[in-house]
Amino acid sequence: MSEEDSRTHFGYQQVPIEEKQQRVRAVFDSVADRYDVMNDLMSLGIHRLWKRRAISLAGVRRGQHVLDLASGTGDLAASFAQIVGTSGRVIMSDINQAMLMHGRERLDNRGIVGNLEYILANAEHLPFANNSFDCVTIAFGLRNVTHKQEALNEMQRVLRPGGRALVLEFSHPTNAPLQRIYDLYSFSVLPLLGRCVAGDSDSYRYLAESIRMHPDQPHLLSMLEQAGLERCEFFNLTGGIVAIHRGYKL
């Protein structure tokens, strides 16, 4: 393996592949306690609408089995648990233990128990059998995965035939004026908010950089197709600042 092949991006930095996971974990360890507050501040609350749209496009029904990767504090998992009911099952999974524990405490406090499980797992190597889930989702987590194609391959593997994979992620604005405003906000306002609210500007600078390094909408669509998913499509939200990609295992 060449030196170039042994490195990957962490934001705009090039780091050894084996270091990226540790660095991402440190970012989310740092922000876990203020994660929900920062989400509301950063997006002016619009992230709730993005997630609501993702839940609608997931098409989850009563009695189904759902896997929510990079689940964070569990917004999608909580909604899915209510939809599938007592005859269904939702697994809330994250690679970061601090985020998973914070999410579990949050959902326990809301009384969402019974059909919800919590599993610490790496999206690139899922500890589940083939054809296990009716729906697999990942919201605002794929950009932090070192080997994104491997994670998408795993999502396809654990889906049942007829199941849906859904990726909700920051993406690339579809017009230049919006891109300029978005860049100004991302690199000036976000780190300032991070410093004032979470006491951590570096983590939110990484957030802005990781979004810019994430594949654009057509590229990510081709990655879903490469994973073996079919009928793949994407939906731009808020001018492409966020996109939802969906594909089916047929």
Asked whether residue 198 carries a pLDDT value surpassing 80, the answer given is no
Question: 139 and 44, same structural domain?
Answer: yes
Question: 166 and 182, same structural domain?
Answer: no
Whole-number pLDDT of residue 5 = 61
Burial (CB < 10 A; 0-12, 13-18, 19+), residue 142, is: buried
Of residues 143, 142, 138, the one with CA closest to residue 11: 143
Q: Which residues are annotated as a binding site?
A: 73, 94, 122-123
**Would you tell me how many other CB atoms lie within 10 Å of the CB of residue 98?**
16
Place of tokens 């970061």: 96
Which residues have C-beta within 8 Å of that of residue 5, sequence separation ≥ 6? none
Question: 125 and 68, same structural domain?
Answer: yes
Whole-number pLDDT of residue 191 = 84
Question: 193 and 160, same structural domain?
Answer: no
- Give 2's pLDDT tier (boundaries 50, 70, 90): very low
Question: 234 and 129, same structural domain?
Answer: yes
Instruction: Domain count for the chain, please give it.
Output: 2
Range of the domain at 98: 18-171+213-248
Whole-number pLDDT of residue 95 = 92
Question: 200 and 98, same structural domain?
Answer: no
The CATH number for 49's domain is: 3.40.50.150
Question: 75 and 25, same structural domain?
Answer: yes
* Structure confidence by residue, pLDDT tens digits, 38-80: 677 778 889 999 999 999 999 999 999 999 999 988 999 999 9
Q: Which residues are annotated as a binding site for S-adenosyl-L-methionine?
A: 73, 94, 122-123
Q: Are strands 159-170 and 242-248 parallel, antiparallel or unpaired?
A: antiparallel
Instruction: Flag whether 127 is in a domain.
Output: yes
Q: Where are the beta strands (DSSP E) in the chain?
A: 7-10, 13-16, 65-69, 89-94, 116-120, 133-139, 159-170, 230-237, 242-248
What one-character DSSP code corresponds to residue 92?
E
* Structure confidence by residue, pLDDT tens digits, 223-247: 999 999 999 999 999 999 999 999 9
Whole-number pLDDT of residue 7 = 85
